Amino acid sequence: MNSIDKLSEIFKHFPGIGPRQAKRFVYYLLSRDKATLKSLSEAIGALSEETTQCEDCRRYFCIGSPSKTSPKCTTCEDESRDPFLLMIVPRDADFESVEKSGGFHGYYFVLGGVLPILEKEPEKRIRIAELKKLLKKKEEVKEVILAMNANSDGENTAEFLKDEIRTLKPDISVSTLGRGLSTGAELEYADPDTLKNALLHRTK
Amino acid sequence: MNSIDKLSEIFKHFPGIGPRQAKRFVYYLLSRDKATLKSLSEAIGALSEETTQCEDCRRYFCIGSPSKTSPKCTTCEDESRDPFLLMIVPRDADFESVEKSGGFHGYYFVLGGVLPILEKEPEKRIRIAELKKLLKKKEEVKEVILAMNANSDGENTAEFLKDEIRTLKPDISVSTLGRGLSTGAELEYADPDTLKNALLHRTK
Amino acid sequence: MNSIDKLSEIFKHFPGIGPRQAKRFVYYLLSRDKATLKSLSEAIGALSEETTQCEDCRRYFCIGSPSKTSPKCTTCEDESRDPFLLMIVPRDADFESVEKSGGFHGYYFVLGGVLPILEKEPEKRIRIAELKKLLKKKEEVKEVILAMNANSDGENTAEFLKDEIRTLKPDISVSTLGRGLSTGAELEYADPDTLKNALLHRTK
Amino acid sequence: MNSIDKLSEIFKHFPGIGPRQAKRFVYYLLSRDKATLKSLSEAIGALSEETTQCEDCRRYFCIGSPSKTSPKCTTCEDESRDPFLLMIVPRDADFESVEKSGGFHGYYFVLGGVLPILEKEPEKRIRIAELKKLLKKKEEVKEVILAMNANSDGENTAEFLKDEIRTLKPDISVSTLGRGLSTGAELEYADPDTLKNALLHRTK
């Protein structure tokens, strides 16, 4: 395979990219100068050198300097956070979204995925072993917040995690994110579940 | 104007209908037989005869039989409902949506619209006089739930109503629908407000 | 069924309208005053009185005055048009679209529909008997233009009509609309058929 | 800037990619193994080594083997093609689209872009100098087909090219792609220009 086809093939596996857009990416790169291509090639090469996975929350982060050997990210190292709260999110992007909202001040764990219904090998889909290890280590945690997407995979994952955590640490409180009207939601188009929850959680 | 153009003109004002679809409606009607047209014409003519506005909740409903003179809808007449709760919704369609969810068992009031920000004549946009009248009449109401859409007009309307109700009946508790993750919402795309509320209303 | 439900039911059959929008139409009408409802009811009632189908092109049109008994539309009565050309279009809306383009000066015939592939009773779907009658009457026609949509039903209908016309009047020339790049089309996304035709019909 | 941010920044400039998807690309890469990253990094690095621009049609292509020094692509080297026809397309992707349609057997020239209306420096946007050079070299060309998108930029580019080619080689015939109904187009929604052209190019 020549390098144009090889590159199209790789781009086709990028999230949300089909064969046509993959080809457009290659044409885009072909029309760049050598310096730009070199810089992109190097940035990708550097990715595995300069990044590592946090040994606590399991998200990927950049190691500040090559000498720094700490395997913990800045969030997990931040001692001003609330040690009683641990939020489990499916992916790195979810961590970013919650962190940007400014509404949470505890620690995180990135699960690495979700569990589809009837999944037979959960441990291959999500970091359940790593989660258990962290929960054993963080003895101070009092509440685990299961921050899953409000869909069937998210609910299934939450059910699975609830069982695992309760077996491992029966004293930990396990909560899920509140359901209700998202910003922009309209009553007329809201589903019964959302409406019921919005009523249940009404604020005075 | 001939009847084809006149009808197009009327259909153009139907909610969500542009000139092209208005024309298609006319062509559709032209290809129906006389009996169908007569039946539609009569149904529209009957609408103002057979429907009335409920004197309590102000929604439109069909009068069961011509002799029935009651100006109250079946929901407002239903004495098994919780008399302490009154939910204010913007429109008839919102009433239907909440009622279908099965999550609410009090009484309703249909506001007839929402207040855009900086609206100078609120009483022309919404049924504020009728609401006040109803609140005076329904002395038993303990909580008014402002069930507005989760957008800026909805928030503005809720603010206005809160002030009016508190001035009129300071002892009534005023609540708004709970915010959080709507069914199907994903963390990655959720806005900060929704995430903060989802966290605040987390359920154990 | 009460008049609200009856009306919803009728609107649900309007082209492109689902149950939810049908209901919104009813609510929209409920909030209009009696005069508006009366005017709509009358316009629909008048439709079958004031309109008729042209005996030549078969499209629906308004009869100018009640005394006017002519069963021909103004287009078919216009003697300045080219009598050698007859264009067959699927529906009334297609007639309007072509007429507005200003590019055609012959006469029309509205087929009343298209033939899906493998349709067993073509005469129930399209006005084939009426077309044959018109072709016998209009002896001067030299070319019939089959102005069908550029999709498989359109092509199927064109094939069927071609056979019928050739059997009836072997000397008439039968043509179809030119294929090529529609306004706004982009090469990158154009299908092979469109590209081949665009090449074939290139203009110098 | 760390390598995660640097890479997001580069992906943001990929065609059709916004900041959020750029970030998702980075997370996607972070979760791949080292071998995959190395392979992508190398493929991008190889791109400028293994590809070159054809000295005739100016499109990018892979050099078969390192020893091969030919600066012509296989299409331009194919002597079985029609030497009288030269098609000018805006971009590499357009070349591919036309070539796949199988409807053209002459040679190509890739312009590298289009000219927006009122563009003051056309020579910076499109390969006009290279086109002139090729036309001087290819003395046998009898017809140049301007295969532009059917929009205002495409028409503007065609106008510009027509003038340039006529000044340079007054004897060459210059044509544009035929306009008409694209596959799937419906009469009701077709614009007047498309309809007029479809009528003009009707086929018997």
Task: State pLDDT tens for residues C48-62.
Answer: 888 899 999 999 998
Nearest to C97 by CA among B23, A93, D107: B23
Tell me, what's the pLDDT at D29? 94
Inform me whether the C-beta atom of residue D188 falls under 8 Å from chain C C-beta atoms. yes
Contact C24 B48 (CB under 8 A): no
Q: Which of B104, B177, B188 sits opposite A97 (nearest CB)?
A: B188
Average pLDDT across chain C, whole number: 92
Tell me, what's the pLDDT at A29? 94
Tell me, what's the pLDDT at B31? 87
Inform me whether the C-beta atom of residue D100 falls under 8 Å from chain C C-beta atoms. yes
Residue C169 has pLDDT above 80, yes or no: yes
Residue B128 has pLDDT above 70, yes or no: yes
Inform me whether the C-beta atom of residue A183 falls under 8 Å from chain B C-beta atoms. yes
CA distance C27 to B96: 11
Rg of the Cα atoms in chain C: 21
Tell me, what's the pLDDT at D66? 56
Residue C115 has pLDDT above 60, yes or no: yes
Looking at residues A89-112, what average pLDDT do you find? 95
- Which residues on A lie below 8 Å from D96 (Cβ)? 23
What are the CA-CA distances from residue D58 to residues A1, A2, B2, C188, D157 (Å)? Answer: 22, 19, 61, 17, 18
Contact B174 A204 (CB under 8 A): yes
Higher pLDDT, D66 or B30: B30
CA distance A58 to C189: 42
Tell me the residue type at D128. Answer: I
Q: How confident is the model at residue B77 (pLDDT cuts 50, 70, 90)?
A: very high
Inform me whether the C-beta atom of residue B99 falls under 8 Å from chain C C-beta atoms. no
Residue B178 has pLDDT above 70, yes or no: yes
What are the CA-CA distances from residue C168 to residues C147, C162, C165, D66, D97 (Å)? Answer: 19, 10, 5, 68, 42
Task: State pLDDT tens for residues D133-186.
Answer: 999 999 999 999 999 999 999 999 999 999 999 999 999 999 999 999 999 999
Q: Find the Cα–Cα–Cα–Cα dihedral A106, A107, A110, A116, rounded to 10°.
A: -40
Residue A104 has pLDDT above 80, yes or no: yes
Helical residues (DSSP H) of chain A, grouped into ranges? 3-11, 19-30, 34-50, 74-77, 92-101, 122-125, 128-137, 152-168, 192-200
Task: State pLDDT tens for residues D46-73.
Answer: 888 888 999 999 999 988 665 556 689 9
Chain D: give the shortest CA distance to residue A8, in Å: 10
Q: Find the Cα–Cα–Cα–Cα dihedral A56, A60, A66, A71, rounded to 10°.
A: 10
Burial class (CB in 10 A: 0-12, 13-18, 19+), C117: exposed
Q: How confident is the model at residue B157 (pLDDT cuts 50, 70, 90)?
A: very high
CA distance A51 to A54: 9
Looking at residues B40-49, what average pLDDT do you find? 90
3-state class (DSSP) for residue C53: strand
Nearest to B177 by CA among A187, A33, C37: A187
Tell me, what's the pLDDT at B64? 66
Tell me, letter by letter, the H, E, C secondary structure of C113-175. CCCCCCCCCHHHHCCHHHHHHHHHHCCCCCEEEECCCCCHHHHHHHHHHHHHHHHHCCCCEEE
Looking at residues A60-76, what average pLDDT do you find? 79
Chain C: give the shortest CA distance to residue B2, in Å: 7
Q: Which of B34, B42, B44 sits opposite C29 (nearest CB)?
A: B44
What are the CA-CA distances from residue A22 to residues A14, A19, D11 (Å)? Answer: 8, 5, 13
Contact A186 B151 (CB under 8 A): yes
Contact D14 A23 (CB under 8 A): no
Inform me whether the C-beta atom of residue A142 falls under 8 Å from chain B C-beta atoms. no
Tell me, what's the pLDDT at A31? 87
> Which chains contact C through at least 3 pairs of Cβ atoms less than 8 Å apart?
B, D
What are the CA-CA distances from residue C42 to residues B18, B28, B86, C50 (Å)? Answer: 22, 17, 40, 11
Tell me, what's the pLDDT at A162? 96
Task: State pLDDT tens for residues D192-201.
Answer: 999 999 999 8
CA distance B58 to B56: 6
Task: State pLDDT tens for residues D67-107.
Answer: 556 689 999 999 999 999 999 999 999 999 999 999 999 99
Residue A70 has pLDDT above 70, yes or no: no
CA distance B22 to D47: 55
Tell me, rounded to whole angstroms, the distance of Cα D185 from its chain centroid.
Answer: 25
Contact A97 B179 (CB under 8 A): no
Of the candidate ranges A3-7, B25-29, C158-162, the one whose mean pLDDT is the lowest: A3-7
Best-predicted range by mean pLDDT (A195-204, B34-43, D127-136): D127-136
Tell me, what's the pLDDT at B56? 96
Q: Which residue of B has its CA nearest to A96?
A: B188
Tell me, rounded to whole angstroms, the distance of Cα D23 from its chain centroid.
Answer: 29
Token pair recorded at residue D24: 């998702």
Average pLDDT across chain B, whole number: 92
Contact A23 D50 (CB under 8 A): no
Tell me, what's the pLDDT at C69? 65
The residues in D 108-127 lying below 8 A from A, measured between CB atoms, are: 112
Inform me whether the C-beta atom of residue C97 falls under 8 Å from chain B C-beta atoms. no
Inform me whether the C-beta atom of residue C200 falls under 8 Å from chain D C-beta atoms. yes
> Which chains contact B through at least 3 pairs of Cβ atoms less than 8 Å apart?
A, C
Inform me whether the C-beta atom of residue B4 falls under 8 Å from chain C C-beta atoms. yes
* Helix H or strand E segment including D53: strand D51-53
Residue B33 has pLDDT above 90, yes or no: no
Residue D37 has pLDDT above 70, yes or no: yes
Q: Which residue of A has its CA nearest to D34?
A: A48
Tell me, what's the pLDDT at D181? 94
Contact B177 A180 (CB under 8 A): yes
Q: Which residue of C has its CA nearest to D103?
A: C196
Looking at residues D23-43, what average pLDDT do you find? 91
Average pLDDT across chain A, whole number: 92
Q: How confident is the model at residue C68 (pLDDT cuts 50, 70, 90)?
A: low
Q: How confident is the model at residue C66 (pLDDT cuts 50, 70, 90)?
A: low
Task: State pLDDT tens for residues A136-162.
Answer: 999 999 999 999 999 999 999 999 999
CB C124 within 8 Å of CB C145:
no
* Helix H or strand E segment including D10: helix D3-11
Q: Residue A132: which residues within 8 A CB-CB, separation 6 or more?
A: A164, A168
Tell me, what's the pLDDT at B68? 59
Residue A66 has pLDDT above 60, yes or no: no
- Which residues on D lie below 8 Å from C182 (Cβ)? 150, 179-182, 185, 190-191, 194
Inform me whether the C-beta atom of residue C22 falls under 8 Å from chain B C-beta atoms. no
* Helix H or strand E segment including D21: helix D19-30
Chain B: give the shortest CA distance to residue C60, in Å: 7
Inform me whether the C-beta atom of residue A151 falls under 8 Å from chain B C-beta atoms. yes
Helix axis angle, C92-101 to D192-200, nearest 10°: 90
